[in-house]
Protein backbone atom coordinates (compact mmCIF):
# COMPACT_ATOMS: atom_id res chain seq x y z
CA UNK A 1 0.00 0.00 0.00
CA UNK A 2 1.40 3.38 -0.99
CA UNK A 3 1.77 6.12 1.57
CA UNK A 4 -0.75 8.94 0.97
CA UNK A 5 1.85 11.71 0.70
CA UNK A 6 4.96 12.35 -1.35
CA UNK A 7 7.24 14.03 1.15
CA UNK A 8 6.71 17.69 0.40
CA UNK A 9 6.13 17.51 -3.35
CA UNK A 10 2.42 16.52 -3.26
CA UNK A 11 1.91 15.68 -6.93
CA UNK A 12 -1.24 13.89 -8.01
CA UNK A 13 -1.37 10.13 -7.74
CA UNK A 14 0.02 8.54 -10.88
CA UNK A 15 2.76 11.15 -11.35
CA UNK A 16 6.27 10.01 -12.06
CA UNK A 17 7.31 10.92 -8.52
CA UNK A 18 4.59 8.77 -7.02
CA UNK A 19 5.48 5.88 -9.31
CA UNK A 20 9.15 6.16 -8.33
CA UNK A 21 8.28 6.22 -4.64
CA UNK A 22 5.82 3.34 -4.81
CA UNK A 23 8.28 1.17 -6.71
CA UNK A 24 11.23 2.00 -4.43
CA UNK A 25 9.12 1.30 -1.34
CA UNK A 26 8.04 -2.04 -2.80
CA UNK A 27 11.64 -3.01 -3.39
CA UNK A 28 12.74 -1.87 0.07
CA UNK A 29 10.00 -3.96 1.67
CA UNK A 30 11.35 -7.07 -0.07
CA UNK A 31 14.88 -6.35 1.12
CA UNK A 32 13.77 -5.77 4.71
CA UNK A 33 11.83 -9.02 4.69
CA UNK A 34 14.84 -10.91 3.37
CA UNK A 35 17.04 -9.67 6.21
CA UNK A 36 15.28 -12.17 8.46
CA UNK A 37 15.69 -15.23 6.24
CA UNK A 38 18.03 -17.23 4.03
CA UNK A 39 20.00 -14.76 1.92
CA UNK A 40 20.42 -17.15 -1.01
CA UNK A 41 23.81 -15.81 -2.06
CA UNK A 42 25.46 -16.61 -5.38
CA UNK A 43 28.05 -14.79 -7.48
CA UNK A 44 27.60 -13.22 -10.92
CA UNK A 45 31.35 -12.75 -11.20
CA UNK A 46 34.40 -12.65 -8.97
CA UNK A 47 33.44 -10.79 -5.76
CA UNK A 48 30.13 -9.64 -7.34
CA UNK A 49 27.33 -11.23 -5.29
CA UNK A 50 23.61 -11.41 -5.93
CA UNK A 51 20.99 -12.58 -3.44
CA UNK A 52 17.36 -13.60 -3.57
CA UNK A 53 16.59 -10.19 -2.09
CA UNK A 54 18.11 -8.47 -5.15
CA UNK A 55 15.93 -10.55 -7.43
CA UNK A 56 12.70 -10.20 -5.45
CA UNK A 57 13.21 -6.47 -5.02
CA UNK A 58 13.72 -5.98 -8.73
CA UNK A 59 10.64 -8.04 -9.58
CA UNK A 60 8.53 -5.91 -7.22
CA UNK A 61 9.88 -2.67 -8.65
CA UNK A 62 9.30 -3.81 -12.22
CA UNK A 63 5.76 -4.85 -11.31
CA UNK A 64 4.93 -1.32 -10.14
CA UNK A 65 6.57 0.27 -13.16
CA UNK A 66 4.74 -2.06 -15.52
CA UNK A 67 1.43 -1.23 -13.85
CA UNK A 68 1.85 2.54 -14.17
CA UNK A 69 4.41 3.14 -16.93
CA UNK A 70 4.13 0.12 -19.18
CA UNK A 71 5.51 1.92 -22.24
CA UNK A 72 8.68 3.13 -20.52
CA UNK A 73 12.01 1.38 -20.80
CA UNK A 74 13.61 -0.06 -17.65
CA UNK A 75 17.32 -0.64 -17.14
CA UNK A 76 18.01 -2.53 -13.90
CA UNK A 77 20.91 -4.34 -12.31
CA UNK A 78 19.71 -7.92 -12.38
CA UNK A 79 17.59 -8.21 -15.54
CA UNK A 80 19.51 -5.57 -17.45
CA UNK A 81 18.11 -3.62 -20.38
CA UNK A 82 19.54 -1.31 -23.03
CA UNK A 83 19.89 2.43 -22.56
CA UNK A 84 17.92 4.33 -25.20
CA UNK A 85 19.54 7.16 -27.15
CA UNK A 86 16.65 9.40 -26.06
CA UNK A 87 13.27 9.24 -24.36
CA UNK A 88 12.18 7.93 -20.99
CA UNK A 89 14.11 5.30 -19.04
CA UNK A 90 13.87 4.07 -15.47
CA UNK A 91 17.20 3.22 -13.83
CA UNK A 92 16.76 0.69 -11.02
CA UNK A 93 19.15 -0.65 -8.41
CA UNK A 94 17.05 -3.10 -6.41
CA UNK A 95 19.66 -3.54 -3.67
CA UNK A 96 22.59 -1.18 -3.63
CA UNK A 97 25.11 -2.54 -1.16
CA UNK A 98 24.65 -6.27 -1.62
CA UNK A 99 27.95 -7.11 0.07
CA UNK A 100 26.90 -4.99 3.06
CA UNK A 101 23.56 -6.79 3.08
CA UNK A 102 25.24 -10.20 3.18
CA UNK A 103 27.44 -9.18 6.11
CA UNK A 104 24.74 -7.35 8.05
CA UNK A 105 26.41 -3.97 7.62
CA UNK A 106 23.64 -1.33 7.81
CA UNK A 107 24.36 0.62 4.63
CA UNK A 108 21.99 -0.68 1.97
CA UNK A 109 19.48 1.04 -0.25
CA UNK A 110 17.04 0.82 -3.13
CA UNK A 111 17.41 3.37 -5.91
CA UNK A 112 14.86 4.27 -8.61
CA UNK A 113 15.33 7.11 -11.07
CA UNK A 114 13.61 8.42 -14.18
CA UNK A 115 15.77 10.03 -16.87
CA UNK A 116 14.26 11.72 -19.91
CA UNK A 117 16.42 12.47 -22.95
CA UNK A 118 19.58 11.81 -20.92
CA UNK A 119 18.60 14.23 -18.15
CA UNK A 120 17.50 13.20 -14.64
CA UNK A 121 13.86 13.96 -13.90
CA UNK A 122 13.01 12.05 -10.69
CA UNK A 123 15.24 10.29 -8.19
CA UNK A 124 14.29 8.24 -5.12
CA UNK A 125 16.63 6.42 -2.74
CA UNK A 126 15.29 4.47 0.23
CA UNK A 127 17.68 3.69 3.07
CA UNK A 128 16.52 0.17 3.90
CA UNK A 129 17.99 0.13 7.39
CA UNK A 130 16.37 3.24 8.85
CA UNK A 131 13.59 3.90 6.34
CA UNK A 132 14.78 7.35 5.27
CA UNK A 133 13.41 8.36 1.88
CA UNK A 134 15.42 10.74 -0.29
CA UNK A 135 13.42 12.31 -3.09
CA UNK A 136 14.44 14.76 -5.80
CA UNK A 137 12.43 16.22 -8.67
CA UNK A 138 14.08 18.25 -11.40
CA UNK A 139 13.65 21.96 -10.70
CA UNK A 140 11.88 21.35 -7.39
CA UNK A 141 14.67 20.56 -4.96
CA UNK A 142 15.60 17.55 -2.86
CA UNK A 143 14.14 16.29 0.41
CA UNK A 144 14.54 13.55 2.96
CA UNK A 145 11.36 12.46 4.73
CA UNK A 146 9.70 15.69 3.64
CA UNK A 147 12.40 18.09 4.83
CA UNK A 148 14.49 20.05 2.30
CA UNK A 149 18.17 19.15 2.14
CA UNK A 150 21.19 21.01 0.82
CA UNK A 151 24.86 20.37 0.29
CA UNK A 152 27.56 21.52 2.69
CA UNK A 153 29.31 24.88 2.60
CA UNK A 154 32.81 23.42 2.96
CA UNK A 155 35.08 25.55 0.80
CA UNK A 156 38.39 23.71 0.64
CA UNK A 157 39.58 20.18 0.05
CA UNK A 158 41.71 20.34 3.18
CA UNK A 159 38.48 20.50 5.22
CA UNK A 160 36.48 18.09 3.08
CA UNK A 161 35.21 14.65 4.02
CA UNK A 162 34.68 12.62 0.86
CA UNK A 163 33.44 9.14 0.07
CA UNK A 164 34.26 6.68 -2.68
CA UNK A 165 33.79 3.12 -3.83
CA UNK A 166 35.81 0.48 -5.64
CA UNK A 167 34.76 -1.68 -8.60
CA UNK A 168 34.17 -5.41 -8.19
CA UNK A 169 36.90 -6.01 -10.79
CA UNK A 170 39.36 -4.01 -8.69
CA UNK A 171 41.99 -6.73 -9.11
CA UNK A 172 42.20 -5.81 -12.78
CA UNK A 173 42.33 -2.08 -12.02
CA UNK A 174 44.07 -1.92 -8.69
CA UNK A 175 46.78 0.39 -9.99
CA UNK A 176 44.27 2.98 -11.19
CA UNK A 177 42.24 2.73 -7.99
CA UNK A 178 45.31 3.15 -5.81
CA UNK A 179 46.54 6.15 -7.79
CA UNK A 180 43.23 8.01 -7.64
CA UNK A 181 42.73 7.17 -3.97
CA UNK A 182 46.22 8.40 -3.07
CA UNK A 183 45.70 11.65 -4.96
CA UNK A 184 42.55 12.35 -2.97
CA UNK A 185 44.00 11.18 0.32
CA UNK A 186 46.86 13.68 0.06
CA UNK A 187 44.46 16.62 -0.27
CA UNK A 188 41.26 15.98 1.70
CA UNK A 189 40.58 15.81 5.41
CA UNK A 190 39.24 12.27 5.25
CA UNK A 191 37.92 9.52 2.97
CA UNK A 192 35.22 6.96 3.68
CA UNK A 193 34.32 3.82 1.74
CA UNK A 194 30.84 2.61 2.72
CA UNK A 195 29.56 0.42 -0.10
CA UNK A 196 26.36 1.95 -1.50
CA UNK A 197 26.84 4.52 -4.26
CA UNK A 198 23.24 5.71 -3.98
CA UNK A 199 23.49 6.39 -0.24
CA UNK A 200 26.97 7.88 -0.64
CA UNK A 201 25.52 10.48 -3.01
CA UNK A 202 22.64 11.09 -0.61
CA UNK A 203 25.22 11.97 2.03
CA UNK A 204 26.66 14.61 -0.30
CA UNK A 205 23.16 15.91 -1.01
CA UNK A 206 22.35 16.37 2.67
CA UNK A 207 25.72 17.90 3.56
CA UNK A 208 27.19 15.06 5.62
CA UNK A 209 29.82 14.42 2.98
CA UNK A 210 31.44 17.10 0.83
CA UNK A 211 32.34 15.01 -2.19
CA UNK A 212 32.11 11.61 -3.85
CA UNK A 213 33.84 9.88 -6.72
CA UNK A 214 33.69 6.42 -8.16
CA UNK A 215 34.83 4.64 -11.30
CA UNK A 216 33.07 1.85 -13.19
CA UNK A 217 29.56 2.80 -12.13
CA UNK A 218 26.55 1.37 -13.91
CA UNK A 219 23.56 3.54 -14.88
CA UNK A 220 21.47 2.28 -11.96
CA UNK A 221 24.23 3.14 -9.46
CA UNK A 222 24.17 6.87 -10.19
CA UNK A 223 20.68 7.45 -11.59
CA UNK A 224 18.91 8.81 -8.50
CA UNK A 225 21.92 10.10 -6.59
CA UNK A 226 22.92 12.41 -9.43
CA UNK A 227 19.64 14.31 -9.29
CA UNK A 228 19.61 14.39 -5.49
CA UNK A 229 23.01 16.10 -5.39
CA UNK A 230 22.12 18.54 -8.17
CA UNK A 231 18.77 19.51 -6.66
CA UNK A 232 20.41 19.97 -3.24
CA UNK A 233 22.69 22.59 -4.80
CA UNK A 234 25.69 20.45 -5.64
CA UNK A 235 27.55 19.57 -8.81
CA UNK A 236 27.84 16.24 -10.62
CA UNK A 237 30.15 15.75 -13.60
CA UNK A 238 32.48 13.34 -15.30
CA UNK A 239 36.21 13.67 -14.49
CA UNK A 240 36.61 16.37 -17.15
CA UNK A 241 33.84 18.50 -15.69
CA UNK A 242 31.23 17.64 -18.32
CA UNK A 243 27.59 16.82 -17.47
CA UNK A 244 27.07 13.14 -16.74
CA UNK A 245 24.92 10.79 -18.78
CA UNK A 246 23.61 7.39 -17.67
CA UNK A 247 26.33 5.76 -19.74
CA UNK A 248 29.12 7.62 -17.90
CA UNK A 249 31.04 5.16 -15.65
CA UNK A 250 33.19 7.71 -13.77
CA UNK A 251 31.14 10.13 -11.67
CA UNK A 252 32.35 12.97 -9.46
CA UNK A 253 29.87 14.72 -7.14
CA UNK A 254 30.45 17.52 -4.66
CA UNK A 255 28.96 20.49 -2.89
CA UNK A 256 30.06 22.61 -5.83
CA UNK A 257 32.43 24.81 -3.86
CA UNK A 258 35.24 22.25 -3.96
CA UNK A 259 34.40 20.76 -7.34
CA UNK A 260 37.11 22.20 -9.57
CA UNK A 261 39.85 21.48 -7.05
CA UNK A 262 38.41 18.00 -6.51
CA UNK A 263 38.46 17.29 -10.25
CA UNK A 264 41.99 18.61 -10.53
CA UNK A 265 43.14 16.39 -7.70
CA UNK A 266 41.49 13.24 -9.09
CA UNK A 267 43.05 13.89 -12.49
CA UNK A 268 46.47 14.26 -10.91
CA UNK A 269 47.13 17.77 -12.14
CA UNK A 270 49.43 18.84 -9.34
CA UNK A 271 48.93 20.51 -5.98
CA UNK A 272 45.63 22.14 -5.18
CA UNK A 273 45.28 25.62 -3.72
CA UNK A 274 44.20 25.24 -0.11
CA UNK A 275 45.11 21.55 0.08
CA UNK A 276 47.66 20.08 2.43
CA UNK A 277 49.32 17.48 0.21
CA UNK A 278 51.96 17.48 -2.48
CA UNK A 279 49.58 16.50 -5.23
CA UNK A 280 50.43 13.76 -7.71
CA UNK A 281 51.89 14.14 -11.17
CA UNK A 282 49.75 13.23 -14.15
CA UNK A 283 50.03 9.62 -15.27
CA UNK A 284 50.81 9.39 -18.95
CA UNK A 285 48.89 6.83 -20.96
Indicate the fold that domain 157-267 takes in CATH: D-Maltodextrin-Binding Protein; domain 2 (3.40.190)
Confidence of residue 172 (pLDDT cuts 50, 70, 90): low
pLDDT (average), residues 95-99 = 93
CATH code for the domain defined by 16-148: 3.30.540.10
pLDDT tens-place string over residues 29-55: 999 998 876 656 555 555 456 688 889
2: pLDDT strictly greater than 80: no
Phi, psi (5° rounding) for residue 163? -135, 150
pLDDT (average), residues 59-84 = 94
Judge whether 254 and 210 are in contact, CB under 8 Å. yes
E strand residue ranges, the chain: 42-45, 48-50, 73-76, 88-96, 109-116, 119-127, 133-137, 142-144, 147-148, 161-164, 190-193, 211-214, 235-237, 251-254
pLDDT tens-place string over residues 176-209: 788 999 999 999 999 999 999 999 999 999 999 9
Range(s) within the chain of domains with CATH label 3.40.190.80: 157-267
pTM: 0.88
**pLDDT confidence of residue 220:** 97
Q: Which residue has the higher pLDDT, 9 or 225?
A: 225
Rounded Cα distance, 219 and 111, in Å: 11
SS3 letters across 56-108: HHHHHHHHHHHHHCCCCEEEECCCECCCCCCCEEEEEEEEECHHHHHHCCCCC
Q: What is the mean pLDDT of the chain?
A: 87
Range(s) within the chain of domains with CATH label 3.30.540.10: 16-148
Amino acid sequence: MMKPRVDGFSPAYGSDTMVALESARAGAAEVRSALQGDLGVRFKADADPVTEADLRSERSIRHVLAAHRAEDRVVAEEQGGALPAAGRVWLVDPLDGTTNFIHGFPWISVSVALWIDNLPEVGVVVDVTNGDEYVAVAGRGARVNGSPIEVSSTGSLAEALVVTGFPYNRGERIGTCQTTFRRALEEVQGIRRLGSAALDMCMVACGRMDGYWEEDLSPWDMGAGTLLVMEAGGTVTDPLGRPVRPSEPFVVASNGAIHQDFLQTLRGEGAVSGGHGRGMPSVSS
